[in-house]
Amino acid sequence: MSAGSGSRSARTKTGAGGGQEDYGAKDGRKSTRPKAVKEDQGRTIGRSLKSARPTAVKEDQSRTHGLSRKNGAANPVKEDPNQTVRYVHKREKTGEGPVSAGLQPGKNAGSDHKKAVWKAGNMLYPLPAVMVSCARPGERPDIVTVAWAGTVCTDPAMVSISLRPSRYSYGIIDETGEFVINLVTEELIRACDFCGVKSGRDTDKFLETGLTALPAVRLSFAPLIAQSPVNIECRVVQKLTPGSHHIFLARVEAVDIDEDRLDENGKFELNKAGLAAYSHGEYFALGRKLGSFGFSVKKGAKTDRVFG
């Protein structure tokens, strides 16, 4: 998701192809242009041979901030098999060569590693699926679903969210300089998805989803979502405008947590809250624990298969 805003969604197709280098020879020398390698499906994925420029990726107005109205799956852009090439990199047994230079040969040395080269796009998954609440003074509050949210720094505590300027919630946040990031659990995932495909211009999302708005502690307008286990109150300090989405950099003013998530020692059991994630058009519940930070170098830890 960069998750969708509360208005009409816009899907961006992640396509095959792309690249920068020019493989043609213009001075009469023999071209070193690589031949296309056909896939089993009868087409290839990779770099256009006619031009050094990447093929443009067309947008579809059914996707919002990385969230598809249906499932958000990235759809490869079909291209002429004669116009694309797939690169096959082989790790040298000696540990030398253009691919493995500087790397130590391992137990998988000599194996083939096939990579399909796609157009430049957003493929950073999984991501947290969150609901961002905001409000103008005197108006009903709104909720926008966002997956393009992240941590900026810890001192001072700062976060960021990315939104399209066309979204209803964008104008509210831009005017008030406030928003609340509300973490999403399995129980809230349907409401989360609803808020990503419906627009706040004509939908009261709190009313339709049955969610409850609570006043924030440090903000003037943006409310908390009572059902969320964690509410992060944010105040905008800077807006960046790099392209299709604008980035709101915000300082964390307060963090509100459910008291019933605390254990008998006062420790916050966040990982037992059933948090949800978003990956490539689909929602997932967090799975089994794989380790804790620093476990790979912990004294007495097993080392037989630490690195694969």
Q: Is residue 162 part of a domain?
A: yes
Mean pLDDT value of segment 277-305: 85
Mean pLDDT value of segment 193-211: 97
Helix ranges, the chain (H): 168-176, 189-197, 205-209
pLDDT of residue 113: 78
Token digits of residue 42:
């009868």
Kindly give the pairing relationship between strand 112-115 and strand 127-128. Answer: unpaired
Mean pLDDT value of segment 175-189: 97
- Counted domains in the chain: 1
Mean pLDDT value of segment 185-195: 97
Residue 248 has pLDDT above 80, yes or no: yes
Count CB neighbours of 63 within 10 A: 24
CATH number of the domain bearing residue 222: 2.30.110.10
Mean pLDDT value of segment 198-206: 97
Mean pLDDT of the chain: 75
Give the residue among 89, 82, 78, 90 at the shortest CA–CA distance from 38. Answer: 82
Q: How confident is the model at residue 109 (pLDDT cuts 50, 70, 90)?
A: low
pLDDT of residue 147: 94
Angle at 130 between CA 124 and CA 132, to 5 degrees: 125
Residue 160 has pLDDT above 80, yes or no: yes
| pLDDT > 90 fraction of the chain, expressed in percent and rounded | 51
Q: Is residue 248 part of a domain?
A: yes
Measure CA 269 to chain center. Answer: 25
Cβ-contact 131, 145 below 8 angstroms = yes
Give the residue among 185, 196, 183 at the shortest CA–CA distance from 71. Answer: 196
Q: Is residue 236 part of a domain?
A: yes
| Calpha distance 189→284 (Å, rounded) | 9
- Bridge partners for 213 per DSSP: 225
pLDDT of residue 44: 36
pLDDT of residue 307: 59
Cβ-contact 226, 214 below 8 angstroms = yes
| Calpha distance 193→198 (Å, rounded) | 9
Q: Is residue 175 part of a domain?
A: yes
Q: Is residue 273 part of a domain?
A: yes
59 or 255, greater pLDDT: 255
Q: Is residue 249 part of a domain?
A: yes
Please write the tens of the pLDDT for every residue from 276-290. 999 999 999 998 889
Range of the domain at 224: 127-285
Kindly give the pairing relationship between strand 230-240 and strand 282-285. Answer: unpaired
Q: Is residue 34 part of a domain?
A: no
Cβ-contact 185, 194 below 8 angstroms = no
Q: How confident is the model at residue 114 (pLDDT cuts 50, 70, 90)?
A: confident
Give the residue among 90, 88, 89, 85 at the shortest CA–CA distance from 38. Answer: 85
pLDDT of residue 186: 96
Please write the tens of the pLDDT for every residue from 130-150. 999 999 999 999 999 999 999
